[in-house]
Amino acid sequence: MTHLATERNNHDLACRGGDHRRCFRADGRDHDLSDEPQTVMAARKTAAAAGAAAAVMTVLATGYLRLWRSKCLNWGATAEEVARPMPGDEFLPHPELLATRAVTVAAEPAAVWPWLIQIGPGRGGAYTYDWIENLLGLDMHSANTILPQFQDLSVGDTLALGSTGPRMRAQIIEPNRALVFASDDGDWIWSFGLYRTPEGTRLVSRNRIRRPAASPLGKFLYALVMEPGSLVMERKMLHGIKQRAERTPVMPGRAGDITQPSPTDDWSTPTDPARDVRR
């Protein structure tokens, strides 16, 4: 008995000292633990990697939300444009997400409008990364010419964003001034405004979005993934319209007949149904 106790103590000391080749089981029998350190080490490495990844994601998320989110949502827009009411604001007064992005087009609003009015799947496309849009089944093929057959969009016309995506209904059409779409469920309002400037035209895009069914975690992940993704796509779209409009000739006198809204125009008055007609 004394011999057995001495041997067990020696093996216990060996185990605690790092010699895991031979240790005792709880029942006193010898047990080869030569494989256990590798398993424990692998588990520790996995836990450490997961912890490091979580720390990096936390830093990135905090940095985005505190430092970069405003720039992402308001890319290209001035503080005045961000604060200025636009057509369509009245349809969703209290959105969960509000993004206002803009670009300067060195052309008259009349040169921008034909490209804008033909936007949409199965029409003039979205002037962005078609291959990404089509991975989502949106049937986007960005046109490089003005398409006469798609210049007559009317209030009430709908654009289906894929077979399972939202249906966007034209709510306001004011040639050379404003184009507003609203999803059938009312949770997404997409407005475009054309504002004449000494340099040409400010093309302003505003998205107002509400996601009532999303969980807090879902909304958080949406902010981290979809908001930067939307910037990539919308920046390309605005530049795509800009590039096309700047090479579009305008008939003499055509732009001179256009009355553009000034930066102080008040679009905040709720839209009367009678106003929602093409002008």
Q: What is the pLDDT of residues 36-76, one digit of tens each?
A: 567 766 666 666 655 555 555 555 555 555 667 888 899 99
Q: Is residue 217 part of a domain?
A: yes
Query: Measuring CA to CA, which residue among 194, 167, 195 is closest to residue 181?
Result: 167
Q: Is residue 114 part of a domain?
A: yes
Q: Identify the pLDDT of residue 278.
A: 40
Confidence of residue 227 (pLDDT cuts 50, 70, 90): confident
Query: What domain count does the chain have?
Result: 2
Query: Measuring CA to CA, which residue among 239, 195, 211, 184 is closest to residue 85?
Result: 195
What average pLDDT score do residues 193-206 get?
97
**Any idea which residue has 């209290």 for tokens?**
94
Q: Within this chain, do residues 4 and 115 fall inside the same structural domain, yes or no?
A: no
Distance between CA 52 and CA 154 in Å, rounded?
54
Considering only 8-12, 19-23, 89-93, 224-228, which range has the smallest mean pLDDT? 19-23
**Model pTM score:** 0.69
Host domain of residue 154:
64-262
Angle at 158 between CA 117 and CA 139, to 5 degrees: 75
CATH of the domain at 249: 3.30.530.20
Q: Within this chain, do residues 145 and 8 fall inside the same structural domain, yes or no?
A: no
Q: Within this chain, do residues 84 and 27 fall inside the same structural domain, yes or no?
A: no
56 exposure class (CB count in 10 Å sphere: 0-12, 13-18, 19+)? exposed
Q: Is residue 101 part of a domain?
A: yes
Beta bridge partners of 170: 181
**pLDDT (tens digit per residue) in 240-250:** 999 999 998 76
Comparing 15 with 78, the larger pLDDT belongs to 78
Is residue 207 within 8 Å of 99, Cβ to Cβ?
yes
